[in-house]
Structure 1
Amino acid sequence: MSLTTPRRAPSADDLIVLLAVAREGRYTSAATRLGLNHTTVARRIESLEQALGGRVLVRGTAGWVLTPLGEHALAAAEEVEAALRRLSPDAPALGGVVRLSATDGFSGFIAAPAMAALRARHPDVSLEIVAATRRAAQQRVGVDLEVVVGRPHVQRAEAIHLGDYVLGLYASRAFLERNGTPETFDDLAGGPLVYFIESMLQVDALDAARRSTRGMVDAVSSTNVYVHVDATRAGAGYGLLPAFLADPHEDLVRLFPDRLEERLPYWLVCRPEALRQPTAVAFIAALRARMAEAADALLGRSAASSSAES
């Protein structure tokens, strides 16, 4: 679709409604955010399309997505939003909601502390997290940012490598007392494994990490990495766990630390419009800062240092 000359000047209110629908992906969610009803939101979008002479939204598989004309209008809508924010000089410099889709471990260990640090400076900023372990979506409806494991292949989005973390093999001290400590990889054959549900795992990098445990038998499987940690601590078997979640627990022992280590990357996927939101940009900076702060823990170095010192 080619951009058309507006038939009349679009309403600032209509542009703000478009901004909300673009961020939420649904009329109902946008209506709730704006304190309007669904009918009013639909009427505002129709009014904007009449003013611009074309469609600004089309239905996608997961909600409403912007057309090229809609993306053009969105830039103007963001300028309106920024202008309105400047009219409130006493308000904090940043405000609004950042919506993030990320894995459970990243959400708890990286995203939550990053938002806490950002809110200390900008208390009107908030974070909504959809915890999920999956590939990057081709249509990012309802979220501003995604964090995935493994390099994503996406269109109309920017992918940023945030950093790496490592998986190691762990067992509880009680489990090792009952079953003995394996001395070679061959001793793990037929042993109970705690990890993701293989048939439901959508992330190639996490699936490939199982290569060192192929001869083992699934004992407890879950889509939630915190379940992996708790099940391993309870003695359900050998857990293939992120070092940053396992190392703080003194009742867990890492096995073959110099030989069994899977290094995996965290990638951030951003919608183009999210990179024009000052709040989202500030949160990305906070994520980078938290990743740098936690680098040793993510790579299992903090536990190694503690063991060397002791």
Structure 2
Amino acid sequence: MGNGNNWDDLRYLLAVARHGSLSAAARVLGVNHSTVLRRVTALEQAMGARLFDKLPGGYVLTAAGDEMHRVAQKMEEDLAAANRLLSGRDTRIGGSLRVTTVDILTLYILPRHIAAFRRLHPELRVDLVAAEASLSLTRREADVAIRATSRPPENLVGRAVSGLAFAVYGASSYLERAGDAGDLDRHPWVGLDESFEHTSLAQWMKRTVPAASIGYRVNSVAGAVEAVRAGIGLGLLPCGVVDRDPAFRRIGDPVLEADTKLWLLTHQDLRHMGRVRAFLDFMADALTRDRDLLEGRHA
């Protein structure tokens, strides 16, 4: 292990340990199966110990492999930290910026703001990743997160720029046909599936809407918006997305128990990076100007 390829060999160990097979590790690393086997074997020979047991379920670390794995993880974390610190000193407003957010913001709120941002910074490419689950900013899967949450992750820095209100809506065409919007129990509903169980939206639905009334469930708020638009039933939807759309009619005031916050977040090592700072400052201004809409005061 005294040569200059130490970290490169350990990358192969980490990939096999994470993914459980040579072929899965090869796909992630962008090499072929035999390369992974060769590098792992070379590492075992250099260490004088077997690092993996090949079991029917895949490759499993031995006791020696487990010790080596801990060393490799620490090296990976140190390299990622160094990379973040070096990136944080980069003041160029160019290159690319990876942003993760949820589907409703990707589809309905952010595009016009990103268009305006890119008019100011045409050299900067924005890569937007719509994901309900947060990508890791620590491992540099993204540079910036725009999240709808009441409790942002403690390892990130940022600020809440607006509330995000939800209210009950039906499609205007559906309500004209079905009538009596005031009696919510007699309507079918669009709900969210188990992946939203932890959210205030799902908890309000559980308390308020009989399970038998939910005729359609979806694992995305944008999917719920489009289902209500299609006339499947009533739904608890974000005011900032549908209040200005004549295809929807709001029933009552925003539901306070479902209210959440819109956060702009980054990793503390990246907060001074030129492109991160420019994007965060621009979006903070843009989304603060949208507050009346996002907080349900537009209807």
**Alignment TM class, shorter chain as reference:** 0.5 to 0.7
Query: For residues 86-97 of structure 1, what are the structure 2 equivalents within 5 Å?
Result: 94-97=93-96
Equivalent in the alignment of 2:101:
102
Offset at residue 115 of structure 1 (A): 2.3
Equivalent in the alignment of 2:159:
160
After the TM superposition, which of the residue ranges 294-303 and 258-267 deviates more from structure 2?
258-267
Amino acid at match of 2:113: A
Equivalent in the alignment of 2:5:
none
Offset at residue 172 of structure 1 (A): 1.7
Q: 1:75 aligns with which of 64, 75, 85?
A: 85
**Distance in 1 of aligned mates of 2:154 and 2:170:** 41
What residue ranges of structure 2 are gaps of 5+ in the alignment? 1-26, 31-70
> TM-score normalized by structure 1?
0.64
Amino acid at match of 1:288: A
After the TM superposition, which of the residue ranges 174-183 and 211-220 deviates more from structure 2?
211-220
Equivalent in the alignment of 2:203:
208
Asked whether 1:283 is paired with 2:279, we answer yes
Closer, same or farther: CA 225–260 of 1 in aligned 2, 3 Å: same
Offset at residue 211 of structure 1 (A): 5.0
**Distance in 1 of aligned mates of 2:234 and 2:278:** 39
Amino acid at match of 2:126: L
**Distance in 2 of aligned mates of 1:74 and 1:116:** 27
Amino acid at match of 2:122: P
**8 Å Cα contact 1:166-1:298 kept in structure 2:** yes
Amino acid at match of 1:152: R
Q: 2:298 aligns with which of 296, 302, 308?
A: 302
**Distance in 2 of aligned mates of 1:136 and 1:74:** 16
Q: 2:266 aligns with which of 263, 266, 270?
A: 270
Equivalent in the alignment of 1:221:
217
Per-residue CA deviation, residues 167-216 of structure 1 (Å, 9 max, x unaligned), is 11111233223322233xxx32363211321x122653333342563325
**Distance in 2 of aligned mates of 1:180 and 1:126:** 48
**Distance in 2 of aligned mates of 1:155 and 1:295:** 25
Equivalent in the alignment of 1:123:
122
Instruction: Name the SS for the 1:302 alignment partner.
Output: coil
Closer, same or farther: CA 146–58 of 1 in aligned 2, 3 Å: farther
**Distance in 2 of aligned mates of 1:182 and 1:155:** 42
**8 Å Cα contact 1:160-1:267 kept in structure 2:** yes
What residue ranges of structure 1 are gaps of 5+ in the alignment? 1-27, 32-56, 83-92, 304-310
Query: For residues 173-252 of structure 1, what are the structure 2 equivalents within 5 Å?
Result: 173-183=172-182, 187-189=183-185, 191-197=187-193, 199-201=194-196, 203-210=198-205, 213-215=208-210, 217-252=213-248
RMSD between aligned residues: 3.6
Closer, same or farther: CA 58–294 of 1 in aligned 2, 3 Å: farther
Asked whether 1:66 is paired with 2:77, we answer yes
Offset at residue 124 of structure 1 (A): 0.7
Per-residue CA deviation, residues 14-33 of structure 1 (Å, 9 max, x unaligned), is xxxxxxxxxxxxxx9999xx
